[in-house]
A and B are shown apart, each in its own frame.
Chain A
C-alpha cells in the first residue's frame, strides 16, 4: 500500500515570499532525516555498508568510473574520492553549458554522452544510478549545500510553490503530508518529513535502487496527480526546493528505505 499514497499538510517550513528560505537555525531545527522514521532493522541496513544493498550499485559505479581508458571518468576527473567530494551535496545546480538548472543525474549524462560518446541512458538505468550512488557516497557526512545563484534560487522558489499546491484527484499537497503530518501513519507507512539527503536510495519495496524523481513520482501517483516525464522542469524545481529545505542537513547517501 505504501505505493498507493506516499505523503500530506501546510506549515510552510520557512520564510518570506521572495528570498529563498534560510535553513532553520540549529537551535530549533526540527528537521529529521527520513532514516529517523524507519524501523531499526532498516536503519541498521543503511548504517552498515556490508548490509546496505545500495553498496552494490556503488561498487558498479566505481567500476564504471574507471572504464573506458582515455575517455574514462578517471581520465578527466582523477580520484573521485577527492574530485567528487561535496559535488552531490550541491545539486541540482545551474549549469552553464546546459543553460539551465540540472540534476546530478543530468550532469553525469552530459559527461557520458558529451565526453564519452555513450548513448543516452534510459531513465532509472542501473548504470546511471550506479554512477550517481558512487558520486553521492563521496558527499556522505557533508552538509546539504545548495548553490545560491539566481537561476537555482528561482528554481527552488518555483519548487516551493509546487510543494504547497494541492494536486491530484485526492487534492493533497506535498506540504500537507510532509510539513503538517510527518510522524503520523498513512496506513502502514510513517510519513517522513520528505528530505532528500539520502538519495539515490535502495528501496526494499522496489527491490532496487531508485532516484529522487522516482520517489516524487510515487508520491504524485499516490494522490492521483498527473506525473511529469523524467527531468521535467517541475521535478527539477521540486528537487531544488527539497535541497534548500534540507540545507545543512547531513548527507546520508546512498540510503535504504522500506
Chain B
C-alpha cells in the first residue's frame, strides 16, 4: 500500500485524491455504500438510502456527513479511520499492512480501490441534511 502518511498531513484529512483516481462520482459512490458486499457501510451505519431495509446501528448515521466533514476529512475517514481512533471498529478501506489472518482471496488487497473511495467520498459530500 502506498504510504498514507505522505498524504495525511495534518492528521485530520487527506487533501488530494488518492493516487490514480479521477474525480469521484456520487452516483457510483451511492451504489458502493448501498452494496453490503462492496462498501459494507450499511452493516454498521444507516444512510438516507431508503430502498435498503436492513441498516446497522453500530455507528453514527451517515446522514449529514457532508456538512460535518470536509472532503479531505471524509477521505481520511474512509481510507484509514484507525489513524484518528486506533480502537475504532470501522475498517480501514485503503490499508493492507498491519492485518492478521486475512483470507487468501483478500490478502494484499484493499477493501475498496482508490477510485471507489473517491466515489464514496463524492457521495458522502452530498449528504448535507442531518436526519
A and B physically associate: yes
Interface residues of B in 22-70 (CB under 8 A from A): 36-37, 40, 42-44, 53-58
Asked if B101 contacts A185 (CB within 8 A), the reply is no
Asked if A224 contacts B58 (CB within 8 A), the reply is no
Select the stretch in B6-14, B71-79, B103-111, B116-124 that faces chain A: B103-111
Chain A interface bracket (under 10, 10 to 19, 20 to 34, 35 or more): 20 to 34
Among A171, A180, A188, A226, the residue within 8 A (CB) of B104 is A226
Asked if B89 contacts A188 (CB within 8 A), the reply is no
A12 to chain B, nearest CB (A): 14
- Scoring A residues 157 to 185 as 1 if CB is less than 8 Å from chain B, else 0, what string do you get? 00000000111111110001000110011
Asked if A168 contacts B89 (CB within 8 A), the reply is no
User: B101: which A residues are within 8 A, CB to CB?
Assistant: 165, 167-168, 225-226
Among B36, B92, B102, the residue within 8 A (CB) of A1 is B36
Asked if B91 contacts A170 (CB within 8 A), the reply is yes
Most-contacted residue by chain B among A169, A171, A180, A186 (CB, 10 A): A169
Binding site for B on A (CB under 8 A): 1, 4-5, 8-10, 165-172, 176, 180-181, 184-188, 221, 224-227
What are 22 A-B interface contacts by the 8 Å CB criterion? A4-B36, A4-B37, A8-B58, A167-B100, A168-B106, A169-B99, A169-B102, A171-B82, A171-B92, A184-B57, A184-B58, A185-B55, A185-B57, A185-B58, A187-B55, A224-B102, A224-B103, A225-B102, A225-B103, A226-B101, A226-B102, A227-B103
